[in-house]
Amino acid sequence: MEGMPEGIDSKFRYVLLVSKRAEQLIQGAQARIRSRHAKPTRVAMEEVEKNVIKWQLSAPVEETTSLDNE
C-alpha cells in the first residue's frame, strides 16, 4: 500500500477501520468485494483501500466523573 487511502487522515484511523471491519467479517458479515485473499484482515484492508466501507467521525462524548455528581 502506498500512502493512506483517500479520506483517511492517519495510520491510526486506518488500523482502527481495518480491525473493526475484520472483526465484522470474522463474526460472519459478508465481504463487499471479491478478494483473492482468504484472511479477514487482508479482505478488510482491501475493502477500506477501495473505499467500499462507509464510516464517519462522530463528536466526542463528554464523560462525567463521580466528582461531577457530588
Task: Indicate if the pLDDT at residue 27 is higher than 70.
Answer: yes
How far apart are alpha carbons 23 and 33 in whole angstroms? 16
Residue by residue, DSSP assigns 4-33 as PPTT---HHHHHHHHHHHHHHHHTTPPPSS
pTM, two decimal places:
0.73
C-alpha cell at 45: 484492508
Of residues 56 and 68, more confidently modeled: 56
Among candidate residues 11, 19, 7, 6, the one with its CA nearest the CA of residue 57: 7
Task: Indicate if the pLDDT at residue 3 is higher than 80.
Answer: no
Task: Indicate if the pLDDT at residue 43 is higher than 90.
Answer: yes
49's enclosing H/E stretch is helix 40-49
